[in-house]
């Protein structure tokens, strides 16, 4: 038994050692931004390169350069061109891959703006983008040679906005830095915007596991004024000029509030350090959106805004899947493949999910009856469908607005990500 424990310890140390990269050996404390387009239709996708630019901040942990989670519908890998050594990787999602699941994508090819930031390499690197296929495996989409000393790396600064640090707990590289962007706030409403940001932070630190990491979070507010108040709302024939072009009725869903102007989002966000970008929209309508390592959106003035805010952050920070039923998205998950999201399973590879946390007496699938309301189990219904996809508990913030917070599985996944950013 002791030999077995020692072996596990040695393997763990070996894996951790393999994943560690010396930031100062390979990178400078700033970013290279890669602009490109994701294009295609329901059955195909391509990447078309747009340009490179230098940005002043890199706020990620210098100790967590290789992504250990394998979350996301895409990933980027950066390798030293001379040696082939992997020096950075990161998973992410996009609005494009969601669009690929809707009816429009079957007949009308489109292009979506995309931005990926990587730490600024000291030497030439190869950047490779991968897309997760319907079978769950990653496939290479595009390779790009990046010379950090090239004259074609744009070095002019983006439009400048005032920035207020709402919460300051330490150096960005040691914290989870959340950059809040003002959207639909006019120039005379910036005090309201900053108060709204502080309100959301105050709510955030009442929620587990964020409450235990409140001294590990920095909050930044980028004061980007709009010409009119609120976002676009095609259903109400409202069209406003705002910094990042946010709109309700994404993919025809009235409450789905996003933007396809991702370059504009990142232009504004570049004014402050940030691991996560959160767009706060000055509206009393119900709505929001959250995309893993992409951006998060919530309105500020609805009675359920707090709960929408934290739900969307669950998507954005760790890629948690929706656990509710929604016929608009019922083809999102193939039933024969295990979802990568940590809080959903098709039971195809349940060993990789929360199976080890279950009590031996738990029945799989677990009946959704009152006596199981507080039990960790395997409850059918999630990922937008009633059958074939399972969630950890009867209720969770990723399922509805009624629970107090995240379930045990979701909270555990978030905590692992918080450690990744801050340790």
What are 357-373's pLDDT values in tens digits?
A: 999 999 999 999 999 99
Q: In the predicted model, is pLDDT for residue 13 greater than 90?
A: no
> Left (φ > 0), alpha (ψ -120 to 50) or beta: where does 143 sit?
beta
Q: Are the C-beta atoms of residues 354 and 392 closer than 8 Å to each other?
A: yes
Q: Are the C-beta atoms of residues 76 and 89 closer than 8 Å to each other?
A: yes
Mean pLDDT of 148-172: 96
Q: In the predicted model, is pLDDT for residue 2 greater than 50?
A: no
Q: In the predicted model, is pLDDT for residue 143 greater than 80?
A: yes
Q: Are the C-beta atoms of residues 379 and 391 closer than 8 Å to each other?
A: yes
Q: In the predicted model, is pLDDT for residue 269 greater than 50?
A: yes
Q: In the predicted model, is pLDDT for residue 3 greater than 70?
A: no
pLDDT category of residue 5 using cuts at 50, 70 and 90: very low
Compute the distance between CA of residue 100 and CA of residue 160 in angstroms, rounded to an integer.
34
Tally Cβ neighbours within 10 Å of residue 405: 17
Q: Which two tokens stand for residue 421?
A: 């950013």
**What dihedral do alpha carbons 101, 99, 289, 78 form, nearest 10°?**
100
Question: What pLDDT is stored for residue 330 in this prediction?
Answer: 72
pLDDT 10s digits, 251-262: 999 999 999 999
Q: What ranges in 232-327 are assigned the alpha helix state H? A: 262-269, 305-318
- In Å, how far are 198, 234, 271 from 180, measured between CA atoms? 10, 25, 11
Domains in the chain, CATH or no CATH each: 18-154 (2.60.40.3250), 163-320 (3.40.390.10), 327-399 (no CATH)
Question: What pLDDT is stored for residue 8 in this prediction?
Answer: 38
Compute the distance between CA of residue 95 and CA of residue 299 in angstroms, rounded to an integer.
19
Q: Are the C-beta atoms of residues 125 and 65 closer than 8 Å to each other?
A: no
Phi, psi of 228 (to 5 degrees): -125, 165
Distance of CA 203 to the CA centre of its chain: 19
Residue 215: burial class (beta carbons within 10 Å; 0-12, 13-18, 19+): exposed
pLDDT 10s digits, 55-79: 999 999 999 999 999 999 999 999 9
- In Å, how far are 38, 129, 226, 371 from 143, measured between CA atoms? 14, 6, 37, 53
pLDDT category of residue 267 using cuts at 50, 70 and 90: very high
Q: Are the C-beta atoms of residues 244 and 158 closer than 8 Å to each other?
A: no
pTM: 0.94
pLDDT 10s digits, 369-421: 999 999 999 999 999 999 999 999 999 999 999 999 999 999 999 999 999 99
Compute the distance between CA of residue 271 and CA of residue 246 in angstroms, rounded to an integer.
19
Q: In the predicted model, is pLDDT for residue 7 greater than 70?
A: no
**What dihedral do alpha carbons 17, 19, 25, 26 form, nearest 10°?**
170
Question: What pLDDT is stored for residue 9 in this prediction?
Answer: 37
pLDDT category of residue 19 using cuts at 50, 70 and 90: low
295-299 vs 288-291, strand pairing mode: antiparallel
pLDDT 10s digits, 279-300: 999 999 999 999 999 999 999 9
pLDDT 10s digits, 187-214: 999 999 999 999 999 999 999 999 999 9
Q: In the predicted model, is pLDDT for residue 309 greater than 90?
A: yes
Q: Are the C-beta atoms of residues 166 and 220 closer than 8 Å to each other?
A: yes
pLDDT category of residue 15 using cuts at 50, 70 and 90: very low
Compute the distance between CA of residue 305 and CA of residue 284 in angstroms, rounded to an integer.
9
């Amino acid at each position: 038994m002791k030999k077995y424990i020692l072996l596990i310890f040695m393997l763990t140390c070996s894996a951790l050692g393999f994943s560690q990269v010396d930031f100062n050996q390979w990178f400078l404390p700033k970013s290279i931004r890669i602009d490109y387009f994701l294009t295609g239709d329901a059955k195909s996708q391509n990447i078309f390169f747009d340009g490179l630019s230098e940005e002043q901040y890199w706020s990620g942990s210098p100790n967590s350069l290789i992504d250990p989670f394998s979350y996301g519908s895409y990933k980027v890998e950066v390798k030293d061109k001379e040696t082939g050594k992997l020096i950075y990787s990161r998973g992410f999602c996009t609005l494009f891959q969601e669009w690929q699941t809707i009816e429009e994508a079957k007949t009308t090819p489109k292009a979506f703006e995309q931005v990926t930031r990587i730490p600024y390499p000291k030497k030439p690197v190869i950047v490779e983008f991968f897309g997760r296929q319907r079978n769950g495996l990653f496939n290479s989409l595009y390779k790009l040679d990046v010379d950090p000393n090239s004259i074609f790396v744009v070095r002019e600064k983006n439009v400048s906005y005032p920035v207020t640090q709402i919460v300051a707990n330490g150096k960005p590289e040691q914290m989870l830095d959340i950059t809040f962007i003002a959207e639909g706030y006019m120039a005379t409403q910036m005090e309201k915007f900053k108060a709204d940001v502080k309100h959301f932070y105050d709510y955030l630190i009442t929620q587990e596991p964020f409450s235990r990491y409140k001294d590990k979070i920095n909050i930044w507010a980028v004061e980007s004024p709009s010409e009119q108040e609120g976002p676009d709302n095609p259903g109400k024939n409202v069209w406003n000029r705002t910094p990042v072009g946010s709109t309700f009725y994404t993919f025809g869903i009235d409450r789905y509030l996003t933007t396809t102007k991702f370059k504009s989002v990142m232009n504004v966000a570049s004014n402050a350090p940030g691991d996560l970008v959160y767009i706060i929209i000055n509206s009393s309508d119900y709505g929001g959106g959250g995309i893993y390592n992409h951006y998060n959106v919530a309105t500020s003035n609805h009675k359920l805004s707090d709960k929408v805010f934290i739900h969307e952050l669950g998507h954005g920070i760790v890629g948690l899947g929706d656990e509710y039923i929604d016929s608009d998205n019922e083809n999102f998950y193939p039933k024969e493949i295990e979802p990568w999201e940590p809080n959903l399973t098709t039971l195809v590879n349940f060993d990789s999910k929360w199976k080890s946390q279950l009590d031996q007496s738990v029945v799989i699938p677990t009946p959704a009856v009152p006596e199981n309301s507080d039990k960790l189990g395997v409850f059918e219904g999630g990922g937008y469908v009633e059958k074939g996809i399972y969630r950890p508990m009867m209720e969770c913030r990723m399922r509805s607005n009624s629970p107090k917070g995240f379930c045990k599985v979701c909270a555990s996944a978030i905590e692992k990500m918080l450690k990744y950013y801050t340790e």
